[in-house]
Amino acid sequence: MTLPLSQAHCEACQAGAPQVSEGELPELMGQIADWNIETRASVMQLERLFQFKNFKQALAFTNSVGALAEAEGHHPALLTEWGKVTVTWWSHSIQGLHRNDFIMAARTDQLATTAEGRK
């Protein structure tokens, strides 16, 4: 039995690791329904905007995502603005999406459920 993405942990991902296949993509996206796929410079990325009541709460969420990223050794792009945080996950080493990115998106969603000031 496979763990839900929100309970899984990242595996070491190095250059040459397989990107998520076209066949895997719908099943993985189904587990992180609020995320979008963005393509920048031919690199697929997962992205989601989280909204908050003010900057302090947005910054606290950013720090929570940063702590999770550091613990897993997998780091996103984080854009913190007044009342919102944009989180973008992709695997730099393979220039695309790996299962790790979906795990981290699901775990980010989990953090958001208890984040103070969430809109």
Q: What is the CATH number of the domain that holds 51?
A: 3.30.1360.20
Residue 37 in any domain: the answer is no
Instruction: Check residues 23 and 12 and name the one with the higher pLDDT.
Output: 23
Residue 27 in any domain: the answer is no
Residue 1 in any domain: the answer is no
Output the pTM of the full model.
0.91
Q: How confident is the model at residue 43 (pLDDT cuts 50, 70, 90)?
A: very high
Average pLDDT over residues 64-86: 96
Residue 55 in any domain: the answer is yes
Q: What pLDDT shows up at residue 9?
A: 67
Residue 3 in any domain: the answer is no
Domain that holds residue 53: 44-119
Residue 66 in any domain: the answer is yes
* Averaged pLDDT of the chain: 92
Residue 50 in any domain: the answer is yes
Number of domains in the chain: 1
Residue 15 in any domain: the answer is no
Pick the range with the lowest mean pLDDT from 11-20, 53-62, 104-113: 11-20
DSSP class per residue in 44-95: EEEEEEEEBSSHHHHHHHHHHHHHHHHHHT---EEEEETTEEEEEE-BGGGT
Please state whether beta strands 36-40 and 84-89 pair in parallel, antiparallel, or not at all (unpaired): unpaired
Percentage of residues in the chain with pLDDT exceeding 90? 82
